[in-house]
């Protein structure tokens, strides 16, 4: 397929995507149309893209329709189950931080605690009807996803070097916020600077309103203390706390130079799916250093402005050396019981998921036209407030 194949007859249209989702589901009414601003902007950027292949555009279109279809299903379920709106989300644990700083490891370990509820990957992909506690990992939809996962791992086992994922592992809140078309993963598929600015400087309240509704729906069938994870909660920390005033926040830290190289490599891998294996390395090198800095600088500023919000610092280097000790300290901060059962579950997960299980994720800054010297000034504020152990690439 040709790159940049952008004939008017092939142009994407928001209303056409919405109509397709309505046709697929047989449903007409959303809970809100707050998603339209983000959807319209993304469609405009996709139509202008000269890097996406025709196959990439079709993949993006199918993902957009799937997000809209999920939102229609959620809205219908909530309308037909009035008790959902009465659910209270109490003291959620929220893991955030710059990308590639250990948020996934932390969330996976928390998810082994049977007292916690996590946004499991299969549930976010196919949320309606919501499972019960008894069927979280036995629902036919879950088992089908696990079988797909097994087949994919056999075909490409090295793909797991980028991200530890599974249908029954916790996923990021960003894939819920996708339904509101306010989420950074959308801008990782192809260069979309206008959409990135929209997320960095716009109002995120509707995304968190929908996020809360989604949790209420799931919780109505399977209660538990929520364990949530999304690096960009740190970008939107004021909106997070407005939505969940009693949230307990875990802020992960890692050598920013190492985290930067890892993220840019991950973005390049993501773009490759939509650009026929030709990511825009120059754009990635220009754009993402500033985005990561926003993650950390906003947290620094928020902590100063809101000392009443409990925030626990969790360092990647210490987690690598002794994760159980760090989790025990984290539980002390949370005021939760770090029982023998909880510890055993975490140890079992660690034994089954050693670092490098799916291969080593190799990356360099110079691929993207950057170096430690070029990006060091951007992190001066962060490093002045947080002492982070250096790793090296």
Shortest CA distance to 338 belongs to which of 350, 348, 349, 325?
325
Torsion of CA 225, 231, 237, 240, to 10 degrees: -40
CA distance 215 to 226: 9
Tokens representing residue 178 in the block:
């996708």
From residue 354, alpha-carbon distances to 101, 146, 180, 197, 321 in Å are 17, 20, 35, 37, 13
Q: CATH homologous superfamily for 90-385?
A: P-loop containing nucleotide triphosphate hydrolases (3.40.50.300)
- Give the count of alpha carbons within 13 A of 45, CB side only: 20
Q: Tell me, what's the pLDDT at 8? A: 40
Helix (H) or strand (E) holding 314: strand 311-315
pLDDT per position as a tens digit, 279-299:
999 999 999 999 999 999 999
Q: Tell me, what's the pLDDT at 58? A: 95
Q: Tell me, what's the pLDDT at 164? A: 64
Q: Tell me, what's the pLDDT at 318? A: 97
Q: Tell me, what's the pLDDT at 196? A: 95
Q: Tell me, what's the pLDDT at 7? A: 39
- Listed by start position, the domains of the chain span 90-385
Question: How many Å separate Cα 67 from the centre of its chain?
Answer: 14
CA distance 183 to 62: 17
Q: Tell me, what's the pLDDT at 150? A: 85
Low-confidence stretches of the chain (pLDDT < 70) are 1-9, 156-164, 356-362, 392-393
CA distance 302 to 257: 23
Q: Provide CB contacts within 8 A for 217, sequence distance 6+.
A: 74, 77, 78, 81, 84, 87, 127, 128, 130
pLDDT per position as a tens digit, 334-356:
999 999 999 999 999 999 988 76
Q: Tell me, what's the pLDDT at 1? A: 41
């Amino acid at each position: 397929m040709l790159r940049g194949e952008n004939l008017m007859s092939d142009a994407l249209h928001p209303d056409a995507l919405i109509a397709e989702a309505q046709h697929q589901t047989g449903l007409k009414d959303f809970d809100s149309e707050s998603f339209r601003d983000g959807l319209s902007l993304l469609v405009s950027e996709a139509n202008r893209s000269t890097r996406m292949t025709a196959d990439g555009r079709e993949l993006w279109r199918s993902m957009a329709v799937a997000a809209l279809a999920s939102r229609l299903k959620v809205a219908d379920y909530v309308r037909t189950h009035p008790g959902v709106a009465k659910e209270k989300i109490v003291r959620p644990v929220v893991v955030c931080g710059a990308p590639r700083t250990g948020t996934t490891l932390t969330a996976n370990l928390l998810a082994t605690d049977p007292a916690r509820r996590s946004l499991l990957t299969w549930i976010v992909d196919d949320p309606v009807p919501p499972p019960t506690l008894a069927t979280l990992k036995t629902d036919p939809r879950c088992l089908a996803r696990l079988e797909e996962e097994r087949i994919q791992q056999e075909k490409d086992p090295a793909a797991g070097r980028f991200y530890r994922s599974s249908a029954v592992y916790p996923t990021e809140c960003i894939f819920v916020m996708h339904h509101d078309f306010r989420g950074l993963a959308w801008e990782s598929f192809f260069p979309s600077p206008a959409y990135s600015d929209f997320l960095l400087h716009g109002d995120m309240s509707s995304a968190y309103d929908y996020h809360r509704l989604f949790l209420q729906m799931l919780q109505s069938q399977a209660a538990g203390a929520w364990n949530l994870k999304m690096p960009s909660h740190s970008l939107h920390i004021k909106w997070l706390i407005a939505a969940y005033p009693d949230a307990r926040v875990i802020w992960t830290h890692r050598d920013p130079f190492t985290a930067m190289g890892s993220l840019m490599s991950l973005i390049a891998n993501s773009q490759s799916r939509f650009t026929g294996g030709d990511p825009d390395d120059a754009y990635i090198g220009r754009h993402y250093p500033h985005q990561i800095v926003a993650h950390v600088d906003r947290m620094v500023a928020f902590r100063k402005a809101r000392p009443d919000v409990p925030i626990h610092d969790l360092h990647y280097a210490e987690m690598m050396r002794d994760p159980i000790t760090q989790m025990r300290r984290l539980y002390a901060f949370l005021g939760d019981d770090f029982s023998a059962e909880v510890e055993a579950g975490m140890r079992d997960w660690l034994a089954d998921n050693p670092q490098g299980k799916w291969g080593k994720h190799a990356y360099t800054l110079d691929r993207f036209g950057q170096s430690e010297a070029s990006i060091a000034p951007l992190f001066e504020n962060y490093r002045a407030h947080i002492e982070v152990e250096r790793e090296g690439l």
